[in-house]
Amino acid sequence: MTVSSFISSHVVSGRVLYRNPECGLQVLDFSQRGQEVIERKGKRWLNRRYLTAAAYAKQVFRPELKELKALYDLAVRPGSNTYDRIVSDYNVPPDVLSVDGDYTGVPGEHLLLDVQDDFIVRFVQVSIYNAKDKLVEKGEALLQDDSRFFIYTTKRRNTAFLGSRVEVLAADMTHNYTLATFKIGLI
Task: Supply the pLDDT for residue 175.
Answer: 87
Expressed in angstroms, the distance from the first to the final Cα of the chain is 60
Mean pLDDT by 10 residues, the chain (187 residues): 41 49 52 40 63 90 93 90 91 92 92 93 94 94 88 94 93 91 82
Task: Supply the pLDDT for residue 32.
Answer: 38
Task: Supply the pLDDT for residue 40.
Answer: 47
List the chain domain ranges: 3-91, 95-183
Task: Supply the pLDDT for residue 33.
Answer: 37
The CA distance from 106 to 154, in Å, is 7
Fold of 95-183: Immunoglobulin-like (2.60.40)
- Supply the DSSP string of 132-174, one letter for each residue: TS-EEEEEEEEEPTTSSEEEEE--S--TT-TT-EEEEEEEETT
